[in-house]
Structure 1
Amino acid sequence: MVAQTDYEPVLPPLPEDLPEDEEAMRIVCLVKNKQPLGATIKRDEETGEIFIARVIHGGLADRSGLLHPGDLLVEVNGKPVEGLDPEQVIQILVQSQGTILFKVIPNTPQSTKSQQPLYVRAMADYCPLQDPAIPCPDAGMVFSRGDLLEIVDQTDIHWWQARKLPSASACAGLIPSTSLLKSKQRETWWSQPFQSFMLLLLLMLFPAGFRRSFRLWRRMTHRKRRQSCYSCSPNTSALSSPYEEVITYQRRPDDPHRLIILVGPSGVGVNELRKRLIKLNPHTFQGAVPHTTRPARDGEETGKEYNFVTKELFDYMVCNHRFLEYGEYKGHLYGTSIDAVKDVIDSGRMCVIDMEPHSILSVRNNMFKPYVVFIKPPSPERLRQTRRDARLITSYVVNRPFKDVDFEEMEDAARFMEGKYGQYFDHVIVNEELQDACMQLFNTIQLAQEGPQWIPAAWLSTED
């Protein structure tokens, strides 16, 4: 049986006044729908001619295979574009409905290699509508730090084409290249007030290469924390590469377990979750035994609760970079050493530690392949319900009830951590109820150790 109805779009007849050199001209007919055409144009400032600047990967123009970068645009729907600005041509396209007829002079074909997709994690935020330099804001793609991106085209040195993962759209969007986004970050950083002064002041206060990381900072609001020069200078992670190349990693049964790091604001229950998880299965999970210079109390054994060491040995370990983080509390030094973490991993158990977010960079390497879980507080109403009978330990008072100011500081600290360090978080758990959060954490860790995960490509390409 032959179908009686033709469902294909009805195309208009070709113009009769084609030039004699028929091969020098191409007639392209596209049917406009809800999707964008997926091409941008530019003007040659010397000749005034309008060219196809780029064809967006996966868009309508790309799928047609008829428009290419460098094609000279002659007419749109029978209207010559000579002498028009790109904005005027765009208005013609916006006002056009249904079928759009392009008359172009093809660019000289160039042999191009098919580009292998590059997978990256965004280490910065970007909004095309706030970027006056983007060629076409409507073709731009919004992304936030921590988002996974598939870069499908790097032909343009300034503007790449990418898709966000997971993505239901086949059409890519424009994003700044690494060099362009770095330049924008640098301009933004130096334009902020007091940055130059603060950098000089902090370099005077904290000699480079000697960073103190006070482990008990969770006892105070993040606004009172003393920042190191690493978090304020233009050479820090804030101004390092805005994209981090990633690959999928599947841990093999004989590989060491990944280090599990819990991060969260004071009072959210990070330490309680860690303790409960270890108590749930001590043969599988274990914490690293910290070092301290305080004297052992009655019943305490070195290597069990703490590794008790002299101040001289502690300072020696600091100078030789043997601590992941350390600090001082009530006149005594405390720290989590690299060796303590390795001892747990070498024993075949999963090492679970809690850290301040600014210390995560010290363990992001091939040795530990850390999996970072951010413990986030619930809504303020839920906090008041679940913490009504809970007690808080501070630098000044032991076991006092939570106050409204504690909830406000917890929310502020969580917002600050997620905004500044969210690109390093592999998973987020909202601790509404401790038992439920503990089970979520257990399942998350199992998936991190056994399932495929995105990790920095450098972790597998280099040896630490």
Structure 2
Amino acid sequence: MSRITSDDGEGERVVQNVLNNIIRVKELTASKNTDKELLQALVGNPIVQSLAKAHTGITEKKIKPVVLEASELSTSICNLLDDSTGDLCVELSRVLSTPHIVALLGCHDSVAKRSNLTPGKSDSKTSNGSKSLPTKMTEETPMRAVRMVGMYKKSWEPLGITVVKEDKQLKIARILQGSEIDKKGLLHIDDIILEVNGTAINGDPKILKDYLIKATGSIVFKILPSYEENQVPKLLYLKCHIDYDPEKDKLTPCHEAGLGFARGEILQVVDQTDADWWQARRVNNKGEPRGRAGLIPSQSLEEKRRSMQEINSILPEDRRRSKKRRSTRRMYSVSQNSAFDKHDIAVYEEVACIPPISRKTIVILMQSMSAAETVARRIADLEPEVYGIADNAATLSRMSTLSRSKDGREELNGEHGDTSTGMELLTAREIIGSGKICILVASPQTLKIVRTSEFLPYAVYVKADSGHMESFGKNYELSSKDIERYYMQYIDSVVDFSNWDDVAKTIIEQMKSLETRHQWVPTSWVY
């Protein structure tokens, strides 16, 4: 049986020879008729025969490019026609300048330069008898791999790219996740934008911005590709502890691409390539993305900015006074760490979405510790079989028992070196071990300690106005201003105080709702 090769140019004859051999095999051997019929049907298929004809045509005809730089030749012709006023000249210039013709000629040049075909001589004749156009292509001339990328743009829809000017060229700096360009995957980071719909950009970002604002419908980019594929982003979920408005940010590289957010919102970070500006988008309660991605300041950038604001807020006389003081070393202590807390900069917190679970601890935080204890007792009185609270009598009895021995004193002081904190943690463990939810009236410092997977706390800040605060007495451990400024990153819910019973019922309802909805918790609780 004959073998099909790319040099014999006899594709049709080979197919016919195969058919004849099948008939011959049918007569000489006792092979299965099914296999022969299948092979005969395959080779006799009109598509296979058409492919054989195409194979014959390609191998018999030697295709040579007439010119290797059709794009430059078209540009030269357009330049010559600029001064012409004739209707035919104007029409020819318009046709050669259309994006589709430019793309076609660019594709022709790319194929001609990359192929192994030897270009025809400058004095060779074409099929119509005329001399071919001369070419300046040499072996030393570098290839220019230009690509034409087309897409459709709505008038109100942003494309989702930011650009940067480097070496007089306009490069794509970032592609916003979820944008039309990101979905199509046609443009990549570091691609160089040369033209838009035939309009030269000349490395000027203002020209590109002004043109894209007005452009609608079909848009064709002429680019020099970077040949770098967009990396699959590593997803990261953050809980925001600050408010951010991109319109008021003077450092943002693009106000239109910014994503504003409020304290307590959950964001999905989809790109951290830029050390200063991350790409993020909002998510729903189950972590499913919603809306487009936008730029947000990174953790390091926002920490630097806020630390500088804090330094600049110090008065000049305070700076001079602080220079005269001698620096002293201070050991960190839970009972005396409020000064350290005031210098913490909370921007984001990495969180994870988990299925509905029941929390083990409720932490009540108020300006007055006695008022918080009253709220805790009301919750325990409403549902005593579910909640347990360590009252003063049980606390003092526990302290007295443990203080009688050395081991008991070490257990009482706890790993944090504070007697009251160690007592609170031991009491909380006992209540949790009994199968109840522990209600813990604690200071913000203790709240920071129990915020672990062991206790799974649900922190509630009961906020009382000045009128209600007078009824609590004059014993205020914290001001509402300090709580909202330094400790809100540890709070899960804020309940406005109306009366004792309403506050207690609201907290109980919130605890029950946690058993039926997904929750965002610190990643340290999960991993």
TM above 0.5: yes
1:372 and 2:459 correspond: yes
1:183 and 2:288 correspond: no
Aligned twin of 1:21: 109
**Once the 2 structures are TM-superposed, how far is the Cα of residue 252 of structure 1 from its aligned partner?**
6.4
Classify 1:364/1:144 alpha carbon distance in 2 versus 1 (closer, same or farther; 3 Å).
same
CA deviation vs aligned residue, 1:223-252 (integer Å, no higher than 9, x gap): xxxx7331244xx4x26xx33221123476
Asked if the contact 2:192/2:223 (under 8 Å) is kept, the reply is yes
Aligned twin of 1:393: 473
**Once the 2 structures are TM-superposed, how far is the Cα of residue 370 of structure 1 from its aligned partner?**
1.4
| Alignment partners' CA distance in 1, 2:503 and 2:324 | 43
Q: For 1:16, what is the secondary structure of its paired residue?
A: helix
Q: For 2:267, what is the secondary structure of its paired residue?
A: strand
1:231 to 336, 341, 345: 341
1:50 and 2:143 correspond: no
1:459 and 2:508 correspond: no
2:365 to 263, 268, 279: 263
| Alignment partners' CA distance in 2, 1:50 and 1:427 | 48
CA deviation vs aligned residue, 1:300-350 (integer Å, no higher than 9, x gap): xx5267645499889964485264866xxxxxxxx8521111111111110
Asked if the contact 2:152/2:216 (under 8 Å) is kept, the reply is no
Higher gyration radius (CA): 2
Aligned twin of 1:436: 502
**Aligned positions of 1:285-300 closer than 5 A:** 285-290=387-392
**Once the 2 structures are TM-superposed, how far is the Cα of residue 67 of structure 1 from its aligned partner?**
2.2
2:255 to 133, 137, 140: 137
Classify 1:263/1:75 alpha carbon distance in 2 versus 1 (closer, same or farther; 3 Å).
same
Aligned twin of 2:71: none
Corresponding letter in the other structure for 1:229: A
Aligned twin of 2:394: 303
Classify 1:359/1:303 alpha carbon distance in 2 versus 1 (closer, same or farther; 3 Å).
closer
Q: For 2:256, what is the secondary structure of its paired residue?
A: helix
Aligned twin of 1:106: 225
Q: For 1:141, what is the secondary structure of its paired residue?
A: coil
Asked if the contact 2:155/2:215 (under 8 Å) is kept, the reply is no
1:284 and 2:386 correspond: yes
Classify 1:367/1:184 alpha carbon distance in 2 versus 1 (closer, same or farther; 3 Å).
same
Classify 1:352/1:442 alpha carbon distance in 2 versus 1 (closer, same or farther; 3 Å).
same
Gaps spanning 5+ residues in structure 2: where?
1-96, 111-144
Higher helix share: 2
CA deviation vs aligned residue, 1:233-283 (integer Å, no higher than 9, x gap): 4xx4x26xx332211234768xxx521112233499543322111001112
1:212 and 2:335 correspond: yes
Classify 1:48/1:426 alpha carbon distance in 2 versus 1 (closer, same or farther; 3 Å).
same
Gaps spanning 5+ residues in structure 1: where?
1-11, 214-226, 291-301, 327-334, 396-405
1:173 and 2:294 correspond: yes
CA deviation vs aligned residue, 1:369-388 (integer Å, no higher than 9, x gap): 211112234xx6xx75xx59
Corresponding letter in the other structure for 2:148: R
CA deviation vs aligned residue, 1:383-406 (integer Å, no higher than 9, x gap): 75xx59x833224xxxxxxxxxx9
**Once the 2 structures are TM-superposed, how far is the Cα of residue 430 of structure 1 from its aligned partner?**
2.3
Asked if the contact 2:361/2:458 (under 8 Å) is kept, the reply is yes
**Aligned positions of 1:27-66 closer than 5 A:** 27-44=149-166, 47-66=167-186
CA-based RMSD: 3.8
Aligned twin of 1:355: 442
| Alignment partners' CA distance in 1, 2:198 and 2:500 | 68
Amino-acid identity (%): 26
| Alignment partners' CA distance in 2, 1:337 and 1:268 | 16
1:248 and 2:336 correspond: no
Instruction: State the TM-score, normalizing by the size of structure 1.
Output: 0.71
| Alignment partners' CA distance in 1, 2:168 and 2:506 | 61
| Alignment partners' CA distance in 2, 1:364 and 1:200 | 39
Q: How many correspondences in the alignment?
A: 384
**Aligned positions of 1:63-212 closer than 5 A:** 63-84=183-204, 86-110=205-229, 113-166=231-284, 169-193=290-314, 204=328, 207-212=330-335
Classify 1:209/1:98 alpha carbon distance in 2 versus 1 (closer, same or farther; 3 Å).
same
Asked if the contact 2:150/2:218 (under 8 Å) is kept, the reply is no
Asked if the contact 1:161/1:175 (under 8 Å) is kept, the reply is yes
Instruction: State the TM-score, normalizing by the size of structure 2.
Output: 0.63
Higher strand share: 1
| Alignment partners' CA distance in 2, 1:34 and 1:324 | 62
Aligned twin of 1:218: none
**Once the 2 structures are TM-superposed, how far is the Cα of residue 48 of structure 1 from its aligned partner?**
0.9
**Once the 2 structures are TM-superposed, how far is the Cα of residue 58 of structure 1 from its aligned partner?**
0.8
Farther-moved stretch of structure 1 (49-58 vs 145-154):
145-154
- The structure, 1 or 2, with the larger RCO (C-alpha pairs under 8 Å, 6+ apart) is 1
